[in-house]
Amino acid sequence: MRFSGRLCVSVALWLVFGGVIAGAQSATWPSERPPGPLAAREVRFPPYEVRTLRNGLQVITVLHHEQPAVSMRLLVRAGSVQDPAKKSGVAGLVASLLDQGTATKSAEQIADEIDFIGGALGTGSGSDLTFINSVVMKDSFNVGMNLLADVVRNPAFAPAEIERQKEQKISSLQVSSNDPDYVASVLLDRLVYGFHPYGLPNSGTPETLAAITRADLQEFHSRYFVPNNMILAIVGDVMSDEAFAAAERVFGGWPRGEVPAVTVVDPPQPTRRVVIVDKPDSVQTEIRVGQLAIPRKHLDYMAWDLAVKILGGEGANRLHRVLRSERGLTYGAQAETEARKQAGHVVAETDTRTETTGEALRLIVDEFSRLQRERVFERELSDAQAYLAGSFPLTIETPNDIATQVLNVVFYELPVEEIGTFRERVQAVRPDDIQRVARQYIRPDRLSIVLVGDASTFIPQLQRVGFTDFDVIPIEELDLMSATLRVEKPRAQAADSPVRGPGPAASANGVRGPGAAASPDHRAADPARAAYAGTQVNPAAGDAADILQSAIEAKGGLDRLRALQAIVADAVMELQTPQGAVSAATKTYISYPDRFRLDTLVPGQESTLVYNRGQVWMKNPLGVEDAPEVARKDASASVNRDVVLLLLAALDRRLPVRRIPENETGRTPAHRALEFETPDSGPVRLYFDSRMQVIRQSYGARGMEGEPMRGEEIFSDYRPVEGLMLAFEAQIMRAGRVIVKRTLKNVSVNDSLADALFIRPQ
Amino acid sequence: MRIALRLAIGLCVCAVAALSIGPLQAAVRPPKLQYEVATLPNGLRVILSEDHSTPIVHVSVWYHVGSKNERSGRTGFAHLFEHMMFKGSRNVESEMHTSMISSVGGRSNAYTTEDVTVFWQTLPAQYLPLAIWLEADRMATLRVDEAAFRREREVVQEERRMRIENQPYGRLSEIIYDHAFVAHPYKHPTIGTMADLESASIADVRDFHNTYYVPENATVTVVGDFDTAQALQTVTQYFGRVPRAARRVPRDIPAEPPMAAERRAVVEEAWPLPAVVVAYHVTYDGHPDSYPLHITSKILSDGQSARISRELIYNQRLCLSAFGSGNITEHPNLFFAVCIVQPGRTPAEAEKALIAEFEKLKTEGVSTHELQRAQNQFARDYILGRESNEDKALHLAHAAVIHNDVTTADGEFDIFMKTSVADVQRVAHTYFNQSNRLVMHVLPKGARR
């Protein structure tokens, strides 16, 4: 800077002689093109360092000396996903209690200390993480580190503070449960993820918060707050060695701990569902439209993120254009990729006046369809890319911006080189990639839709634009922890009954409560919910045996299943490969119970796989061989998973079967689910729709390297063949990705099949 | 947008470690901002501050017009007009301002307050000429089109529904100001009323542009990676050709008469928990009393150890949330405290507790320890509030436009350093009096019956 302060002489002179055209009339304002850019500046990612202490704590330093402050950001790799069952809110409560007293300091002392040094301390949690952020002036760096370590390592969880925080949280929920924006967002998560933890509110509910004990908090803390489960970033006006030394000093002596793995239920497959939350005094309707997509660490993430940006993000945003610029329906409309550790979803959101609710919803859903159906314009993609790549320097401006970039990479366990190659990776995406991911992941007919507003006024609009099937829930009756999304309705009735519990309430109503037989402990532990069991009337409700009976009936009846000997099917298999889809005609012969043959008819590359009571052979143009172990196991497993065989084995009590309670399926009671314990292939689950057809099967599978992964098959287009209901469409998935789509063409039942089909091919 | 909890910006700080163990010494004094200012012959004020740490640049244009310049029957117009500035000009199609900026990786937006309307963009440094050109084009040649105007009016009505009407406590600020003021336009919400938005016409748009969107009413601030001489040349090239205004910018804004007696109000809203408000009229931004008032805000509400947080939330468990702070703006405004009352506690208890805190400021004053804490917190805000180019531009432009003196962006630091416990007690005596007070209970609908 050559000079500072007020107008300097040289500048004044320049103004006078510098070709100023002051006083020109706007009538004479030139018509012109925008000026071109100056020479581009080099964009360099600022220096940072990542080290791991001996106890496993990952420490990141980012040095920045412009302002004399240092901030510390500590992430714990545990959040609401690790909340114990029926205790949503534990992670959040732990976070809010960290700075409310430690072994040696009271809540007041901590507040006095951090406030007095002109620092700040904040804590919180999300679904996959808990964070503790602190900022201090550079001269208080050591004081700040000591305090950070104390609140992270030694929280007291004093009973009085627990009560205080619970009270605060429950009162806050009373406010947010009246906030349409909050309600719409948490309900959309719940519809998309079911009872997967991402579907449950991080903040808990008044009931789950009330159920949390001091021991729950201590256990969460001792399990997950261990150095090898944490990342610490030290950012700002400090030297690298000083920062690492401080981290070593306050955290180095903390022993590592075994972090238990959590097991969670899978999110449900996308299903079209429209839920209206009625808030009659609303002047606007909050709209959310979304569906399950992919987790953050997924090879398609970049292309998918750009696809969603075209739908509703910065740089492109079809939703904003259609809803706001063209029609004035809203102040804002956008779509976002919510990609987390275990799973991800896409959500579009807007708010619009009550009178235009139907129109806005139709437009949003149509944009999902359009993106899935039509190739995006080159220009739209390049605009979205230009924004995403071009804005990179804007995302590394402040020390905390820089730290966020590094923390993201470390937290999601992505390659650190990804920061440096970000812009190249953005620019590498082609319209074909967008089309591929849009086709693969967007299911316009299976979107979850939430509308919060004045239901009676906008429902007629919905019908006019083609939405005829929806649930309406008064806002005060919404309960995210309930399988039906509603609070158990007549609380008064439950209170009147002499004994609160599943038995009396259920029998009084003459209907067996869902799950009462299969999981009595769950119900007994929750009298309020147990009371609800008695008020629900659902013809499909019942225990495992009932479901089994209904499923067999729906499949074609017991006699027909017992008489089943053979199926021959011509099918088209569409293999999803990284290079694109490859389709092949196939012919399958099944000889019940334990032989099958699959011929794949690709000209010049015909192949055959034969399974005969545990023996497996493969034939291709190069010759015939005994199948390798992995293929043999896969073939056996596929026989063990045959739906007809599962149903009959369970009915004959050859296989243990249990009914899965709704809170595990994430489905409404219209959707039943059974779990079969197979001897060789582990648990296999079948999910039924309201007509008791199997719509999904899930099981443990193995990848190419033999690594365990989730296997699923999604069935649809059921048609009767000789009285047997068969799914003409199936999608076979591994780890959440579709690998094969199968469409049946011709099917015959109980043809007599020659034994020669099932011997080693020649 | 007027945001209830927003403190006036542009505060400076002090951090003296009189009592302390010594972590706070001269080292925490933040570096001064480096900048240059110029005024073009057409009256446009220009502030340029180089910062080469990241290859980006922030450009803001502050128009010294906000909702306090609106005439009655046209509330919300300044903000509605802000939206119209994105609807195209001689060389820029409607909505293209935003997309041209985003297509080079930049971000842009605008906001309106009681006092100013601010348009800004942050973008990669080499595109500085584009941002300047775009801003000059719409200052000189805004295009006004009836259909676009009507559509945008609907968008603003949706914004009002979204921000104000459809969320719990969204109207709190509006209700406070409506009861606290009688004459000064601070009485009206920045976003306006639905009826006034409805009656705004396209003639109003043209008139507003001609009156207020003129060079002498604007301040262009550029912060980031550029060369000052080159940037000034660009600013002059594009803004220099905008004609000087034909008439002076009107500043005839009705003053608020002093209150004669306490005002009390009980209103009902469809909110889940009651809210209690205690509000006092105070002075304007830059008045000597404004600095102790800012200190008072910190002592009452900054951090869990602050008085209202500690006493009303933590000790008494009376409020779900509570704060007391000054909304100190260009014209005299309010210092108000709010308590969202916990279930099972009463608004009467909350009122008593809030007033007790103000009385204590007068009778007992504040301790030197509290004063020092507040000053240290100012130092923190000052330092953390100057990390980005946008932050710096905000402080510079605020000083230039609201104080009409850009040097206050740094100069207030020393004023805060010199503020004493006696100053804090003195201003408490000046303003926190019953006859200067509004007490309001906002009850959940039906609670009175």
Contacts of A31 in chain B (CB under 8 A): 90-91
Q: Is residue B5 part of a domain?
A: no
Chain B residue with the nearest C-alpha to that of A476: B272
- Which stretch of A23-27, A261-265, A403-407 has the lowest confidence by average pLDDT? A23-27
Cβ contact, residue pair B31, A67, below 8 Å: yes
The candidate with the shortest Cα–Cα distance to B294, out of B435, B423, B180, B154, is: B423
Provide the pLDDT for residue A511.
Answer: 29
∠ CA(A620), CA(A626), CA(A628), 5° rounding? 95
CA distance A64 to chain B (A): 10
Q: Are A116 and B373 in contact (CB under 8 A)?
A: yes
Residues 273-292 of A with CB under 8 A from B: 281-284, 286
Q: Does pLDDT of A520 surpass 70?
A: no
Q: Residue A459 above 80 pLDDT?
A: yes
* B186 domain residue, yes or no: yes
In a domain, B7, yes or no: no
**CA A754, chain centre distance (Å):** 48
Res. A490: pLDDT tops 50:
no
Q: Do B20 and A180 touch (CB under 8 A)?
A: no
Give the E-state strand segments of A154-225 in sequence order: none
Q: Which two tokens stand for residue A718?
A: 């059921």
DSSP structure class, residue A554? H
**Contact, A178 vs B445, CB < 8 A?**
no
A595: three-class secondary structure by DSSP: strand
- CA closest to B314 among chain A residues: A164
Per the model's pLDDT, the better-predicted residue between A689 and A743 turns out to be A743
The per-residue pLDDT for range A9-31, each reduced to its tens digit, is 333 323 332 223 333 345 689 99
Residue A333 clears pLDDT 80, i.e. is over it: yes
Size of interface A-B (CB pairs under 8 A): 308
Structure tokens at A188: 């959309």
Task: Tell whether B170 is covered by a domain.
Answer: yes
Comparing B276 with A539, the larger pLDDT belongs to: B276
Nearest to A284 among B130, B162, B387 (CB): B162
CATH value at residue B161: 3.30.830.10
Percent of chain A with pLDDT over 70: 87
Given CB atoms, is A329 within the 8 Å cutoff of chain B? Answer: yes
SS3 B53: coil
pLDDT in tens, A570-586: 998 887 766 667 788 88
Residue B151 counted as domain residue = yes
Residue A660: predicted pLDDT: 80
In angstroms, the separation between the Cα of residue A62 and the nearest Cα of chain B is 14
CA distances from A146 to A68, A142, A233, A331, B15 (A): 19, 6, 15, 46, 22
A358-372, A384-398, A702-716, B368-382: range with lowest mean pLDDT: A702-716
3-state SS, residue B414: helix
Calculate how close chain A gets to B54, using CA atoms only, in Å.
6
Q: CB-based burial of residue A743 (10 Å sphere; 0-12 exposed, 13-18 middle, 19+ buried)?
A: middle
* Whether A653 contacts chain B with CB within 8 A: no
Q: Which residue of A has its CA nearest to B390?
A: A397
| pLDDT at residue number A506 | 30
Highest mean pLDDT among A496-510, B21-35, B412-426: B412-426
CB contact set of B70 (below 8 Å; sequence gap of 6+): B76, B77, B78, B185, B188, B192
Q: Do B384 and A390 touch (CB under 8 A)?
A: no
A273-469 to CATH, choices 3.60.20.10, 3.40.640.10, 3.40.50.970, 3.30.830.10: 3.30.830.10
How many whole angstroms separate alpha carbon B204 and alpha carbon B206?
6
Cα first-last separation, chain B: 34
Q: Could you give the count of Cα atoms lying within 13 Å of A628 in the half-sphere of its Cβ?
A: 4
Q: Looking at the structure, do residues B320 and B181 belong to the same domain, yes or no?
A: no
Cβ atoms B119, B136 nearer than 8 A: no
List the single residue in B155, B372, B379 with the smallest CB-CB distance to A328: B155
Say yes or no: B330 and B380 in one domain. yes
**Section A266-270 average pLDDT:** 89
Question: Mean pLDDT over all residues of chain B?
Answer: 91
Considering only CB atoms, B91 lies closest to which of A31, A164, A330, namely: A31
Task: Tell me if B13 is assigned to some domain.
Answer: no
Structural domain for B234, as ranges: 26-239
Q: Of B106, B99, B83, B87, which Cα lies nearest the Cα of B145?
A: B87
CA distance B406 to chain A (A): 9
Q: What is the ipTM of this complex?
A: 0.89
Contact: B314, A107; criterion CB under 8 Å: yes
* CB contact A5 to B (< 8 Å): yes
CB A420 within 8 Å of CB B78:
no
3 state DSSP class of A676: strand
> Judged by CB atoms within 8 Å, which residues 465-504 of A form the interface with B?
none
CATH 2.50.20.10 domain extents, chain A = 546-758
Q: Are A133 and A121 in contact (CB under 8 A)?
A: yes
Task: Report the alpha-carbon angle A652-A657-A663, nearest 5.
Answer: 150
- Tell me, yes or no, if A423 comes closer than 8 A to chain B by beta carbon: no
Mutate which: A66, A72, A115, A351, vs B, most B CBs within 10 A:
A115
Average pLDDT, chain A: 85
**Residues of chain B contacting A11 with CB distance shorter than 8 Å:** 36, 38, 229, 232
Tell me how far apart the alpha carbons of residues A101 and A157 are, in angstroms, rounded to a whole number: 7
Parallel, antiparallel, or unpaired: how do β-strands B218-224 and B45-50 relate? Answer: parallel
Q: Is residue B362 part of a domain?
A: yes
What pLDDT score does A270 carry? 86
Residues of chain B contacting A167 with CB distance shorter than 8 Å: 317, 342
Instruction: Say yes or no: domain A546-758 is CATH 2.50.20.10.
Output: yes
Range B329-355 average pLDDT: 97
Question: CB atoms < 10 A from the CB of A642, how many?
Answer: 17
Distance in angstroms (rounded) separating the CA atoms of residues A662 and A204: 19
Cα A408 to Cα A455: distance, rounded to the nearest angstrom: 40
Looking at chain A, which residue has its C-alpha nearest residue B240? A22
Pairing mode, strands A273-278 and A130-137: unpaired
Q: How confident is the model at residue A546 (pLDDT cuts 50, 70, 90)?
A: confident
* Residues of chain A found within 8 Å of residue B57, distances taken between Cβ atoms: none
Question: Which residues, in sequence order, are CB contacts of A456 under 8 Å at separation 6+?
Answer: A278, A280
pLDDT at A695 > cutoff 70: yes
A400/B contact by beta carbon, under 8 A: yes
> Which single residue is written with the structure tokens 């948490």?
A186
Contact B91 A34 (CB under 8 A): yes
User: Is the predicted pLDDT of residue A429 greater than 80, yes or no?
Assistant: yes
Closest-CA distance, B58 to chain A, in angstroms, reads 10
**Which class for B251: exposed (0-12), middle (13-18), buried (19 or more C-beta within 10 A)?**
exposed
Please enumerate in sequence order all residues whose Cβ is within 8 A of that of A286, keeping only pairs 6 or more positions apart, or say none.
A180, A181, A183, A184, A349, A351, A450, A451, A452, A453, B166
pLDDT of residue A556: 87
Contact flag A68-B30 (C-beta cutoff 8 Å) = yes
DSSP string, A319-377: HIIIIIITT---S-EEEEEEE-SS-EEEEEEEEEEGGGHHHHHHHHHHHHHHHHHSPPP
Which pLDDT belongs to residue A706?
A: 64
Report the run of H or E that residue A472 belongs to, with start and end: strand A471-474
What phi-psi label fits residue A9: left (phi over 0), alpha (psi between -120 and 50 degrees) or beta? alpha
Reported as type and span, the H/E element at residue B49 is strand B45-50
Q: Is the pLDDT of residue B158 over 60?
A: yes
Partners of residue B25 in chain A, C-beta under 8 Å = 139
Q: Is residue A312 less than 8 Å (CB to CB) from chain B?
A: no
Which of A22, A396, A398 is facing B42, going by the closest CB pair? A22
Contact with chain B for residue A325, Cβ under 8 A = yes
Q: Which two tokens stand for residue B12?
A: 């400076």
Rounded Cα gap, residues A441 and A448, in angstroms: 14
User: What is the Cα B71 distance to its own chain's centre?
Assistant: 20
Closest by CA to A616, choosing from A589, A634, A590, A592, is A634
Q: Are B51 and B195 found together in one domain?
A: yes
E strand segments, A31-145: 48-52, 58-63, 69-76, 120-125, 130-137
Instruction: Please check whether residues B288 and B385 belong to one and the same domain.
Output: yes
Residues of chain A with CATH 3.30.830.10: 48-251, 273-469
Touching check for A145 and chain B: CB below 8 Å?
A: no
- The HSE-up count of residue A214 (CA atoms within 13 Å, CB side) is 10
Q: Write the DSSP string, A481-543.
A: TSTTSB--S-HHHHHHSSS-SHHHHHHHHTSPPTTTTT-HHHHHT-HHHHHHHHH---TT---
The model's pLDDT over A202-249, given as tens digits with 9 standing for 90+, comes to 999 999 999 999 999 999 999 999 999 999 999 999 999 999 999 999
Distance CA A76, CA A483 (A): 30
Whether B269 and B194 share a structural domain: no
Return d(Cα A66, Cα A236) in angstroms, integer: 8
B207 with B279, same domain: the answer is no
Cα atoms found within 13 Å of the Cα of residue B75, Cβ hemisphere only: 20
Describe the strand order of the beta sheet including A69-76 as a list of residue ranges. A48-52, A58-63, A230-236, A69-76, A130-137, A120-125
CB-nearest partner of B107 from A179, A281, A394: A394
Q: How confident is the model at residue A489 (pLDDT cuts 50, 70, 90)?
A: low
Q: Does domain A48-251 have CATH number 3.30.420.10?
A: no
**Which residues, 6+ apart, have CB-to-CB distance to B235 below 8 Å?**
B40, B44, B46, B132, B220, B222
pTM listed for this prediction: 0.74
Q: How far is B73 from chain A (nearest CA, A)?
A: 23
CB A24 within 8 A of CB B243: yes
Longest pairwise C-alpha distance within chain B: 69
> What average pLDDT does range A34-58 have in this prediction?
93
Residues of A in contact with B156 (CB under 8 A): 331
Whether the per-residue pLDDT at B7 is higher than 50: the answer is no
Reading the block at residue B257, the tokens are 């008469």
- Closest by Cα among B131, B126, B140, B122 to B100: B131
Using DSSP's 3-state secondary structure scheme, residue A122 falls into strand
Q: Which residues contact A755 (CB under 8 A, 6 or more apart)?
A: none
Q: Which of A18-22, A120-124, A601-605, A739-743 has the lowest mean pLDDT?
A: A18-22
Residue B444 identity: P
Query: Would B256 be classed as within a structural domain?
Result: no
Closest chain A residue to B345, measured at CA: A171
Angle, in degrees to the nearest 10, between helices A90-97 and A214-224: 80
Point out the domain boundary residue: B191, B206, B239: B239
Q: What is the pLDDT of residue A600?
A: 85
Residue A698 binned pLDDT confidence (cut-offs 50, 70, 90): confident
